[in-house]
Structure 1
Amino acid sequence: MRIDHPRARRTVALGLTAGALAATLAGCSGAADARPQASATGTTSEVTPGARSGADGIGDWPSFLPSPSTSSMATGSVDQPAVSYPGAPVLVRLGSTAVRVDLDGPSYPASTKVGADQVPCTFTVTFSAAADTTGADDLGSAHFDVLTHDGKVHPLKPGAGTGWPRSITPGGRAVVRLQATLPSGEGFVRFYPSGSRAAAGWDYVAETD
């Protein structure tokens, strides 16, 4: 079984352009069909990497993804969502406060069959208060979902024994393991601080061959 990381690919998640990726963040989490539209605009990241090539085999790195070699952190909000990939955290602005969101995954059960079309996936999310945060970050109505390559939306729910943090105070940290059964292949995890507007998204690809 192999899990490919976006660092090892030149293709863009879901076969989308930067503008189309914006639509994956702008859609409502409850939509039955949230297929991105190529004319959408608006998704940005504060990280502006240049083209990369060489021994790592990355080649031209898409400008809307944070660079694997940069020490900067993408910053997102519901007005200007950030696009990232698992392993690259995003600083999400929540009004007058901010929370750092680290996402890793997906991971699979050991019993996952090679070539499986549907896979029980787990994403590990770590919330931590931003260094300049003086008040509590309200996460009571925050949630995640996944937009898969077939245009379908899948809610991500905390796994058994995993609670959801109501808030993160300065110096605080919380780890949540989110689960869903998803089709193998490419997808996009979206984070909604509240309501139906996403503030950040993570491009991933999972292969079971």
Structure 2
Amino acid sequence: MRNIVLVLVVTSLAFSCQNEENSRAMDWEQQMGKILSDYDNSAVLDYSKIISEDNQEIEFSIFKKNSNGIYKIEGESSFEDVFPLKIVYYVKNDKVIATIFTGLSPYLNKGLKREGQKCCSSFHNIKYFNSETEVVSFKKHLDLMSSEEFESIKKELALIDFVKSKVENSEIEYERTMNTFQELKEKLNF
């Protein structure tokens, strides 16, 4: 009888710890969403800069720091005016705390596109960085027949729920993101 009670106590403690960990993860993710939303509601543009690279122009908008020390940098590009891309970095204490990447991604087809075959994907990817070892990703996308559908499909994409996943090898992802951000800051003379 004691063994059964002991097994029940240990099992309930294990579930309790798991629920507490899930609750903590949800708390920081929800808090991050609120922090970013609050920032966006009061964001003030500091300046813009256009960088030309590989026959492509990218317009960057740098926003002022708020009272919490958060700022953001947005970059928008349009590859041959067909495949628009947008990246947003949210930064606090010189560390990236979130990224948002949206736009169109073409599918690579060998030969000609067959009738009825999708050409590209409209995507919206968000990553929250709680620390160098804790990164969560939210993704959604829609396949398109033509890049011309991009503007009209935005509302439909907004209605789709994000698919959440914990980023494996988060240390590598964080380092890659920080390196890319540092390179961007150098190009912007920021």
| Pair in the same fold by TM > 0.5 | no
Larger Rg: 2
Q: Choose between structure 1 and 2 for higher RCO, CA contacts under 8 A separated by at least 6 residues.
A: 1
**Whose helix proportion is higher, 1 or 2?**
2
Q: TM-score, normalised by structure 2?
A: 0.30
Q: TM-score, normalised by structure 1?
A: 0.28
